Amino acid sequence: MKIRIFFTFLIFNILYAQNIPNLLNENYQELYNLKLKKEEAQKKYNSLKFISPVELSVERDISYKYKNRSSRYTKYSISIDQPIFKFGGIYYGIKFAKANYKLNKLKILKEERELIIKAIQLAYELKASLYEKKKTQLEIKNKKIELKMYETILESGYISSLDIDNLLVKLTDARTKLYDIKMNIKQTFHRFKQISYKNPYKLKLPKLKFISKNKFIQNNYDIKLAKKNIELMKYKKKITYAKYLPTISIGLEYGKIKAKDIEYRNHYKNINLKMSMPISVNRSHDIEIAKLEYLISKLELVTTKNTTINDYTSIKNRLSLYAQKRKLLEEEMRIYRKLLRKMKRLQKAGEKNNLDILTIKNYIQMKRYDIKILNIQKQLLLLELYKKVSI
């Protein structure tokens, strides 16, 4: 039973891992790996920071006496002054270092996640722009067909030159729109290549599914960061308390004195036990600041949870609107298809020509592109959810 649960969990994680491919180039991947290694090294350094360094010293002394006589000696020593008890200061200092590592590691993972999602977003935007380009090209074709038909029936008096002028304005607007789309494609491609060496036109982009509210909250980066910050501020508060309590230290020194002008050799050892306590006028203020930082961190978690839930609800509502819009587009396609069938019957009767049929076909294809673009917009909206979670 346990093995079955394990494999189910493993397959679940693999599916999610496949949903979000890492499109970042090697430089960015190495950058984030180095950042994580640096935080690991920083954690080890901070965890051992309470250990005092061993001091090595060499002292050379020359003293002059009466009638130009002098005395010379050399002193060698090795010593350490090590705090051994700080009323929890050492223990919570180690805890603080580990909590700070977890917080910074999570920040790096969130930053990397956002950049990975950004690459996928740019690839999707590029794909949507290509569909928009094809749609606009069909729109221009239809406008040209309409212009040709207008010119044919202008002499009949059914339309005026003003109608043609209006159509020319629409045609110019469509051409301008096509130019803007082409510029946008180039800019989006350039932005994608800044963070990825892959070819965005050949990528198999993930088809994301909606995340449940519980999963979104449990795996949300901002909520996790807020919780880690509470833990960090808790240890910082305890360290601040301990900072103003007595510290017990042990001092060890081993040395050797060597005199040149006299036969003198002396090895010595010193061991001392010391208790010290700082007296500061800012003690109460320092402790009060630490308390307030801890309380602020707890309130920030509440605020973050509320913001997260509101973001989730907003995206969920927008996704439902996309579903409604898709139904409208599909209804419009059904109307155009019905109209196309009617046009074909009229064409057989000699009442419609090939240009009429081509115009309707172009409109149907434009609606297909609208649905494809709408599906991409839905994926872009889902990426806003996936950007915030660690699944």
Model confidence over 194-244: pLDDT tens digits? 999 999 999 999 999 999 999 999 999 999 999 999 999 999 999 999 888
Give the mean model confidence (pLDDT) for residues 183-197.
Answer: 96
Q: pLDDT-based confidence at 154, cuts 50/70/90?
A: low
Considering the domain architecture, whether residues 273 and 372 belong to the same structural domain is answered as no
Q: Contact, 50 vs 84, CB < 8 A?
A: no
pLDDT at 257: 78
- Position with higher pLDDT, 17 vs 146: 146
Considering the domain architecture, whether residues 158 and 169 belong to the same structural domain is answered as yes
Residue 2 lies in a domain: no
Give the mean model confidence (pLDDT) for residues 126-133.
Answer: 97
- Give residues with Cβ within 8 angstroms of 183, minimum separation 6: none
Residue 286 lies in a domain: yes
Q: pLDDT-based confidence at 155, cuts 50/70/90?
A: low
Q: pLDDT-based confidence at 15, cuts 50/70/90?
A: very low
Considering the domain architecture, whether residues 73 and 157 belong to the same structural domain is answered as no
Please say which residue of 279, 303, 328 terminates a domain.
Answer: 279
pLDDT at 180: 97
Considering the domain architecture, whether residues 211 and 314 belong to the same structural domain is answered as yes
Give the mean model confidence (pLDDT) for residues 140-152.
Answer: 86
pLDDT at 70: 59
Chain position carrying tokens 């630490």: 290
pLDDT at 373: 97
Q: How far apart are alpha carbons 299 and 144 in whole angstroms?
A: 62
pTM: 0.83
Residue 14 lies in a domain: no
Residue 10 lies in a domain: no
Residue 359 lies in a domain: yes
Q: How far apart are alpha carbons 175 and 140 in whole angstroms?
A: 7
pLDDT at 60: 67
Average pLDDT across the chain, whole number:
87
Please say which residue of 260, 279, 298 terminates a domain.
Answer: 279
Model confidence over 343-357: pLDDT tens digits? 888 888 887 788 888
Residue 183 lies in a domain: yes
Residue 159 lies in a domain: yes
Tell whether the model's pLDDT for residue 47 goes beyond 90: no
- Position with higher pLDDT, 19 vs 103: 103
Q: pLDDT-based confidence at 39, cuts 50/70/90?
A: very high
pLDDT at 6: 39
Considering the domain architecture, whether residues 272 and 225 belong to the same structural domain is answered as no
Considering the domain architecture, whether residues 286 and 315 belong to the same structural domain is answered as yes
Considering the domain architecture, whether residues 372 and 327 belong to the same structural domain is answered as yes
Please say which residue of 222, 256, 279 terminates a domain.
Answer: 279
pLDDT at 8: 41
pLDDT at 62: 58
Sheet-wide strand order for 264-276 = 55-64, 70-85, 247-259, 264-276
Considering the domain architecture, whether residues 103 and 206 belong to the same structural domain is answered as yes
Considering the domain architecture, whether residues 198 and 55 belong to the same structural domain is answered as no
Residue 134 domain boundaries = 21-50+86-244+280-386
Considering the domain architecture, whether residues 273 and 375 belong to the same structural domain is answered as no
For the chain, the distance separating the N- and C-terminal CA atoms, rounded to the nearest angstrom, is 25
pLDDT at 262: 52
* H or E stretch at 83: strand 70-85
pLDDT at 134: 97
Considering the domain architecture, whether residues 205 and 58 belong to the same structural domain is answered as no
Task: Tell me the CATH number at 128.
Answer: 1.20.1600.10
The backbone region for 350, taken as left when phi is positive above 0, alpha when psi lies in -120 to 50, beta otherwise, is left
Q: How far apart are alpha carbons 288 and 296 in whole angstroms?
A: 12
Considering the domain architecture, whether residues 35 and 163 belong to the same structural domain is answered as yes
pLDDT at 41: 94
Residue 4 lies in a domain: no
Q: How far apart are alpha carbons 38 and 297 in whole angstroms?
A: 26
Q: What is the count of structural domains for the chain? A: 2
Task: Tell me the CATH number at 265.
Answer: 2.20.200
Give the side-chain half-sphere CA count within 13 A for 240: 19
> Which two three-digit tokens encode residue 52?
């005092």
- Position with higher pLDDT, 365 vs 83: 365
